């Protein structure tokens, strides 16, 4: 397969402009999903056992999800994360707050040192800015609880376009 | 134009709402189609500027072309068309599997794919539109995002009731009933993205069947029915 370069999101010659607004009208009707993405670096001093790291990820994702659900969201769209380390990754997903977080562990070693973590939160019923606030509100507390030093590398709130916000 | 490039490219879209199991199903479908000897390209549209789904797919050992910044069925249809044309000219897959965003509309994606024909010497052929419906939370979906779920079901050729390994019999029956009500013409099958149930059938569909090309009149009729509640 070819390279996986990120496409430029600027689309100056979008041919959809030439077409009927009917399709877009429906899209607007379902445009009730908010989302937020953040990339964080975790650097636990001396490393952290992998199993403990998975518990931390579970706690973080679940806390963010429940904070959204307790503050206006009425449906989890998809809360998903990807933790990248030198020898693998851990993928996690929540689509229903009443069910356990699905975690796929593909890390070889038993101890995790520095890692990069992407969290993507999509819920129905509240908007992007509120999801961002609700995420950042609980992040310090969960990290403190697990003694996990963190550094926010990228906050995608300012650069992401909303899911189906057609103008 | 390279004379060895094929004249057509089959586009297969795996539609479905967020969390319906699209990425997991896609990875298994691609594995199987590659085993069958196909040259497969993958396009993932995760709408945000960062694609967790693409990372999932790459962690599985596959390469995915990410298209970000909006929904490929409309907002960035032009970028999608450019990507397909470029894929044809450089990689020449016989099948391109597209995982649209969880809010994409299947007929819109067909139209966007066909724009690529103006950019290179190629004809787009559509595989049956596959829509995955999460049986484990059908009630929640219908309550919160009924219009979108209904659109994705109405515009599907085949609906897979997904997560049958964890859904109750009652949930599966309810999901099937809902699909029949929304789209009586759709074929209904079961899938478990996790266990692999239904994957071979999905591959057979992609390999051997085709779906009609985009027709504005058909889409208008589908939407009219939806708005009128028929």
CA distance A28 to B101: 15
Query: Nearest CA to B227 among A132, A23, A150, A70?
Result: A23
Q: What is the pLDDT of residue B220?
A: 76
* Chain B: closest CA distance from residue A45 (Å): 26
CA distance A98 to A87: 32
* Chain A: closest CA distance from residue B103 (Å): 7
Query: Nearest CA to B13 among B105, B75, B143?
Result: B105
Angle, CA B7 vertex, CA B1 and CA B10 arms, to 5° = 130
In a domain, B2, yes or no: no
Largest CA distance in chain B: 55
In a domain, B42, yes or no: yes
Total length of chain B: 230
CA distance B224 to B230: 9
pTM for the model: 0.86
CATH number, residue B132: 3.40.50.300
In a domain, B114, yes or no: yes
Q: What is the pLDDT of residue A163?
A: 44
Q: What is the pLDDT of residue B230?
A: 63
Q: Which secondary-structure segment (H or E) carries A91?
A: strand A88-94
CA distance A117 to A39: 6
Interface ipTM: 0.84
CA distance B23 to B193: 9
Among the partner residues A23, A81, A120, nearest to B105 by beta-carbon distance: A23
Subunit contact B77:A37, Cβ cutoff 8 A = no
- How does DSSP classify residue B167? S
Task: Using a CB–CB cutoff of 8 Å, tell me whether A55 touches chain B.
Answer: no
Q: If DSSP codes are grouped into helix, strand and coil, which group holds residue A161?
A: coil
Is the pLDDT at A10 greater than 50? The verdict is no
Among the partner residues A27, A75, A166, nearest to B145 by beta-carbon distance: A75
User: Which residues of chain A lie closer than 8 angstroms to B76, CB-CB?
Assistant: 9, 11, 14
In a domain, A138, yes or no: yes
In a domain, B1, yes or no: no
Among the partner residues B81, B108, B145, nearest to A30 by beta-carbon distance: B145
The H-assigned helical ranges of chain B are 22-35, 52-59, 77-90, 106-114, 138-154, 169-182, 199-208, 216-228
Structural domain span for residue A69: 34-155
CATH number, residue A119: 3.30.70
The H-assigned helical ranges of A42-145 are 50-69, 128-145
pLDDT, tens digit, for every residue of A69-116?
Answer: 999 999 999 999 999 999 999 999 999 999 999 999 999 999 999 999
A167 CB-contact burial (10 Å; exposed 0-12 / middle 13-18 / buried 19+): exposed
Q: What is the pLDDT of residue A1?
A: 41
Torsion-angle region of B106 (φ positive above 0: left; ψ -120 to 50: alpha; else: beta): alpha
Structure tokens at A135: 């995420």
In a domain, A15, yes or no: no
Place of tokens 């085993």: B35
In a domain, A74, yes or no: yes
B89 C-beta neighbours (distance < 10 Å), count: 15
Angle, CA A150 vertex, CA B55 and CA A49 arms, to 5° = 75
Per the prediction, chain A carries an average pLDDT of: 83
Task: Count helices and strands (H / E) in chain B.
Answer: 8, 8
Structural domain span for residue B104: 8-228
Helices B169-182/B138-154 angle, 10° precision: 30
In a domain, A83, yes or no: yes
CA distance B178 to B155: 14
> Confidence band (pLDDT; 50, 70, 90) for A11?
very low
Instruction: Provide the number of structural domains found in chain B.
Output: 1
Instruction: Provide the number of structural domains found in chain A.
Output: 1
Subunit contact B223:A84, Cβ cutoff 8 A = no
Task: Using a CB–CB cutoff of 8 Å, tell me whether A103 touches chain B.
Answer: no
Task: Using a CB–CB cutoff of 8 Å, tell me whether A66 touches chain B.
Answer: no
> Mean pLDDT of residues grouped by 10 in chain B (230 residues)?
72 93 94 96 80 84 82 80 93 93 81 93 96 95 87 93 96 97 96 95 98 85 68
Q: By CA distance, what is B137's nearest residue in A?
A: A96
Subunit contact B56:A8, Cβ cutoff 8 A = no
Among the partner residues B19, B46, B219, nearest to A23 by beta-carbon distance: B219
Q: What is the pLDDT of residue B48?
A: 67
- How does DSSP classify residue A4? -
User: Which residues of chain A lie closer than 8 angstroms to B216, CB-CB?
Assistant: 19-20
* Chain A: closest CA distance from residue B214 (Å): 12
Q: What is the pLDDT of residue B67?
A: 85
β-strands B130-134, B8-16: how paired?
parallel
């Amino acid at each position: 397969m070819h390279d996986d370069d990120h496409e430029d999101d600027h689309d100056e010659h979008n041919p959809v402009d030439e077409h009927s607004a009917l399709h877009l009208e429906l899209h607007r009707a379902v445009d009730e999903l908010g989302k937020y993405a953040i990339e964080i670096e975790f650097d636990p001093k001396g490393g952290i056992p992998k199993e403990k790291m998975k518990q931390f990820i579970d706690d973080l994702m679940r806390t963010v999800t429940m904070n959204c659900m307790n503050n206006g969201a009425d449906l989890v769209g998809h809360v998903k994360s990807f933790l990248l380390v030198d020898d693998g990754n851990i993928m996690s997903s929540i689509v229903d707050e009443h069910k356990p977080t699905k975690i796929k562990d593909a890390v070889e070693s038993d101890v995790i040192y520095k890692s990069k973590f992407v969290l993507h939160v999509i819920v129905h019923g509240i908007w992007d800015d509120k999801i961002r606030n609700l995420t950042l509100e609980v992040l310090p507390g969960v990290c403190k609880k697990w003694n996990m030093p963190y550094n926010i590398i990228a906050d995608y709130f300012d650069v992401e376009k909303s899911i189906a916000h057609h103008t | 134009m390279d004379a060895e490039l094929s004249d057509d490219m089959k586009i297969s879209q795996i539609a479905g709402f967020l969390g319906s199991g699209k990425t997991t199903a896609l990875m298994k479908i691609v594995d199987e189609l590659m085993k069958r000897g196909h040259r497969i390209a993958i396009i993932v549209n995760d709408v945000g500027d960062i694609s967790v789904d693409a990372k999932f797919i790459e962690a599985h050992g596959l390469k995915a072309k990410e298209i970000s910044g909006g929904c490929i069925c409309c907002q960035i249809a032009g970028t999608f068309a450019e990507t397909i044309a470029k894929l044809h000219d450089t990689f020449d897959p016989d099948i391109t599997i597209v995982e649209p965003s969880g809010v994409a509309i299947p007929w819109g994606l067909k139209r966007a794919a066909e724009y690529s024909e103006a950019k290179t010497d190629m004809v787009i052929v559509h595989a049956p539109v596959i829509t995955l419906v999460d049986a484990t939370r059908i009630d929640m979906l219908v309550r919160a995002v009924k219009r979108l779920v209904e659109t994705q079901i109405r515009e599907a050729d085949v609906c897979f009731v997904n997560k049958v390994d964890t859904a109750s019999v009652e949930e599966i029956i309810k999901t099937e009933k809902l699909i029949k009500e929304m789209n009586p013409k759709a074929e209904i099958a079961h899938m478990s993205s996790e266990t692999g149930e239904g994957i071979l059938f999905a591959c057979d569909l992609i390999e051997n069947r085709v779906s009609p090309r985009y027709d504005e009149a058909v889409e208008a009729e589908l939407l009219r029915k939806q708005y009128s509640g028929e």
